[in-house]
Amino acid sequence: MLENISREIIRFNNVWIGYKIPKKHGIGYEIFIAVKDMSFYVNRGEVYGLVGESGSGKSTILKAIIGIIKPLKGEIIVDNIDISKDDPRKREVLRKIGYVSQDPFQAVNPKMKVRDIILEPLRILKRDNTDFSNIIETLISLTGLPNNVLDMYPHELSGGMLQRVVIARALAAKPMIVLLDEPTSSLDTVTQAQILYLLKDLQESMNYTYLLVSHDLRVVSFLANRIGIIIRGYLVEEGPTDEIMEEPLHPYTKLLIDSSRFKEIKEIEYSSIGCPIHPICPYKKDVCEHTMPKIIVQGSRRIACWNYI
Ligand SMILES: Nc1ncnc2c1ncn2[C@@H]1O[C@H](COP(=O)(O)OP(=O)(O)OP(=O)(O)O)[C@@H](O)[C@H]1O
């Protein structure tokens, strides 16, 4: 247990996250649950990937980690602090998180030069005007950009170049973890591959910890050593990437793998496939009245019974 505490950078324990939305017909609000009973952890030095279709709750999970949304229930432990609670140490912890979002043009101030964009987190961290020139030049060369980019504005760069700048900024404050929110989805295929290799090289050479979310299983399986699959806010399968890719257990994971390989896709007919965890799963299709999936642990794999779907 003690070993887990020191190795883990992030842990979600049965987290529920909801949004207040206006009622469809009538006055008042209701809560739309976007993330349901979510549990996972990210160890130091690993890449954990969450895959799910649009609207499955991936960005909501990241927003909760950086403290934009508070969960309704559950614990979000970041660097041993429960950031879902009011804790004076929370701000310090959140400063140690790097963030790379989907669209680099939305992520930066268009009026700032690249040098100042990368400088921003360093200034906040150190709270003084130390000369950071060397650090900035090292970061820019790490991300494979020439030095003259530092004096340019975002509109003078391509999407791929600007995403490299955003990555440099995310790494500037020596983060304990970098959150990658669909980091390549706004880029063309060639640039996408270049950025993925850059992220992989940086992770392997500097031992960075990433939490990556994407709808694209190919992107996640390329970078992550462990994968979690989400459907409508539920984590339905989790395990080491190679095991999941070789032997997916949940039908939705099979569907994702087939579609990523451009195989013919057939709608999942859950009632016609026997749940492999039936022998130990109490929620059998015909008799199940539960709305929550039963999670079964099999070695390093976790899989949800799909009778609830
Ligand atoms: N501010 C909000 N208010 C109400 N509902 C929201 C809000 N933000 C997200 N949602 C809803 O929560 C669910 C999860 O959204 P989220 O953005 O986390 O999904 P996602 O998996 O990141 O999707 P995408 O890949 O399209 O970004 C969706 O149904 C979405 O409509």
Distance of CA 222 to the CA centre of its chain: 14
What average pLDDT does this structure show over 265-276? 58
Distance of CA 186 to the CA centre of its chain: 16
- Is 29 close to ligand 1, i.e. is its CB under 6 Å away? no
Index of the ligand 1 atom closest to the CA of residue 56: 21
pLDDT surpasses 80 at 138: yes
pLDDT at 265: 67
- Is 163 close to ligand 1, i.e. is its CB under 6 Å away? no
What is the overall mean pLDDT for the chain? 85
Spacing, Cα 130 to ligand 1 middle (Å): 40
- Is 56 close to ligand 1, i.e. is its CB under 6 Å away? yes
- Is 32 close to ligand 1, i.e. is its CB under 6 Å away? yes
130-139, 142-151, 152-161, 247-256: the lowest-pLDDT one = 130-139
- Is 60 close to ligand 1, i.e. is its CB under 6 Å away? yes
Instruction: Tell the residue nearest (CA) to atom 5 of ligand 1.
Output: 19
Q: Which residues contact 219 (CB under 8 A, 6 or more apart)?
A: 184, 192, 196, 212
* b/e sequence 90-118, b meaning 16+ C-beta within 10 Å: beebeeebbbbbbbbeebbeeeebbbebb
- Is 57 close to ligand 1, i.e. is its CB under 6 Å away? yes
The closest of 236, 241, 230 to 46, measured between CA atoms, is 241
pLDDT surpasses 50 at 277: no
ipTM: 0.97
Residue 38 · residue 58 · CB < 8 Å: no
3-class SS letters over the chain: CHHHHHHEEEEEEEEEEEEEEECCCCCCEEEEEEEEEEEEEEECCCEEEEEECCCCCHHHHHHHHCCCCCCCEEEEEECCEECCCCCCCHHHHHHCEEEECCCHHHHCCCCCCHHHHHHHHHHHHHCCCCCCHHHHHHHHHHCCCCHHHHHCCHHHCCHHHHHHHHHHHHHHCCCCEEEEECCCCCCCHHHHHHHHHHHHHHHHHHCCCEEEEECCHHHHHHHCCEEEEEECCEEEEEEEHHHHHHCCCCHHHHHHHHHHCCCCCCCCCHHHCCCCCCCCCCCCCCCCCCCCCCEEEECCEEEECCCCC
Spacing, Cα 299 to ligand 1 middle (Å): 32
pLDDT at 176: 93
146-160, 230-244, 247-261: the lowest-pLDDT one = 247-261
- Is 54 close to ligand 1, i.e. is its CB under 6 Å away? yes
Phi and psi, residue 117, nearest 5°: -60, -45
What average pLDDT does this structure show over 271-290? 49
Residue from 56, 72, 219 to probe ligand 1 pocket by mutation (most atoms less than 8 Å from CB): 56
Residue 212 · residue 50 · CB < 8 Å: yes
Spacing, Cα 18 to ligand 1 middle (Å): 10
Stronger pLDDT, 294 or 47, i.e. the higher one:
47
* b/e sequence 181-200, b meaning 16+ C-beta within 10 Å: bbbbebbeeebbebbbebbe
- How far apart (Å, rounded) are the C-alpha atoms in residues 286 and 275? 12
- Is 30 close to ligand 1, i.e. is its CB under 6 Å away? no
Spacing, Cα 151 to ligand 1 middle (Å): 36
What average pLDDT does this structure show over 59-74? 94
pLDDT surpasses 50 at 278: no
Residue from 35, 58, 103 to probe ligand 1 pocket by mutation (most atoms less than 8 Å from CB): 58
Instruction: Tell the residue nearest (CA) to atom 12 of ligand 1.
Output: 34
- Give pLDDT tens digits for 162-212: 999 999 999 988 899 999 999 998 888 888 898 899 899 989 988 999 999
CATH class of the structural domain 2-96+176-304: alpha beta
Model confidence, pTM: 0.88
